[in-house]
Amino acid sequence: MKRIINIAMMFIMVLSLAFGAVTYTSVTEVSAKAKTITKSEAKSKALKNSGVKKSKIKKLKIKYKAKKKNPKYEIEFETKLYEYEIEIDAKTGKLLEKSVELKKAIVQPKDAKLIKSSDAKNIAFKDAGVKRVSKVKVKLEIEDEDDNDEDEDLDDVDNDEDEDDDDEDTDKVYEVKFKAGAYKYEYEIDAVYGKIISIEQELKSK
C-alpha cells in the first residue's frame, strides 16, 4: 500500500512539474511578444520617418522577421512618385534602414545647365532633416547611353560650368554621402532639376 502511495505521489509531482514548465513557456512567449511593437506602430514610425501621409500610400506590405536577438519589421509601400523599403527594430521602434527610389526616370535636356554641388548637398541635408553632418562627399556622376560612366569628385566645390556633352541621352547625377547622428546617408540628386532620385539611410551599428 505504501508503495502505491509513493508511486501516486511521484506521478503527481511529475504532472506538476510538466504543468509548470508549460505555464512558464507560455508566459515567456507572451512576455517576449509583449516586448515588441505592433505592426500598426511599426507602420506609423515608418511613415513618420519618411514624411509620408497615410492617405498617400499604396501597395503596403508589412512582414515581421522573428529573429531571436534582432526582430524587425520590413515595410514596403509606394506613393505617386517613389517606392519605399524600410526596416524598423521590433523592440525599440528605431529605424534600421531606409531605401527610397524614384519610380520614373528623369529626362534631362541636352546641354542643360547643372545645379551647384552645394545646392545638391543642401537638398540632401534638408530632406534628411539634419544640420550637423560629418564626412561629406559629393561626386558628379555622368552616365551616357553606352553605359560609360565618368565620375568627378566635387567635395565642397561648386560646379558652375556645364560638362561637355555630345550625347543627347546623358544622365548627370550628384551622389551625396554623409553621416549625421546615428545614421549614414547616401543620396542621388538629379544634377539638372535638383530632384531626389534615391535615398539610402542606414543605422551605423545595427
| Predicted confidence (pLDDT) per residue in 151-163, tens digit | 556 655 444 434 4
Please report, as a single letter, which amino acid is at residue 201: Q
Return the closest-CA partner of residue 133 out of 193, 187, 189: 187
The angle formed by the CA atoms of residues 185, 191 and 194, to the nearest 5 degrees, is 70
Please state the rounded mean pLDDT for residues 33-47.
87
**HSE toward the beta carbon, residue 79, CA cutoff 13 A:** 15
> What pTM value is reported for the model?
0.72
The reported pLDDT for the residue numbered 196 is 97
Q: How far apart are CA 71 and CA 67, in angstroms?
A: 4
The reported pLDDT for the residue numbered 151 is 57
Integer angstrom CA distances of residue 50 from 47, 54, 129: 5, 11, 11
Return the closest-CA partner of residue 68 out of 96, 28, 99, 41: 28
